[in-house]
Amino acid sequence: KKIYEYFERLEKINGDTIEGKYKKIKSFKIGDDVKTVSTIMAKHGFSQVPIYDKNKICVGMLTDKIITKLANLRAENKKIKQSNLDPINPKIQHTDILKSVEDIFELYDYVLVEKKGKIVGILTRQDLNQELLK
């Protein structure tokens, strides 16, 4: 019965939009202090955050894995640099249908959610699974 309910729920939410199912995310900029950003990430439970340049263009993602590597460097190197960032994962619109994201999750663990051209959140594979199990 639980498997049937799972697939019934899957069918229902696949027609839903992304709106309200993603986590709102904080963003930072090139030159920000890694320790400060790391503290904020830990406080909010983020494992990755978008990083912007001075023109407010997202240039990459800072991950907890990158922070671990940077923690071993000298103090003068503990500012966020574009060369330290991971590439940006695909972006989707907040109005996109959940079903449209399935293929993306075959290749990526998360997608960035945009609203009016601005990144407003992140949707992870785990978020989608939690939605399915409600």
Note the pLDDT tens digit of each residue in 35-66: 899 999 999 988 899 999 999 899 999 999 99
Distance of alpha carbon 99 from alpha carbon 13, whole angstroms: 8
Those residues whose C-beta lies under 8 Å from the C-beta of residue 14, and which sit 6 or more positions away, are: 97, 98, 99
Q: How many residues does the chain have?
A: 134
Q: Does the structure show a pLDDT above 80 at 84?
A: yes
Q: Is-contact 106 128, C-beta < 8 A?
A: no
When pLDDT is averaged across residues 87-91 and rounded to a whole number, the result is: 93
Instruction: Summarize pLDDT for 68-81 with one digit per residue, the tens.
Output: 888 777 655 688 99
103-22-88 Cα angle (round to 5): 60
CATH of the domain at 15: 3.10.580.10
- Residue 43, domain extent: 2-132
In the predicted model, what is the mean pLDDT of residues 78-91?
91
- Please tell me the total count of domains within the chain: 1
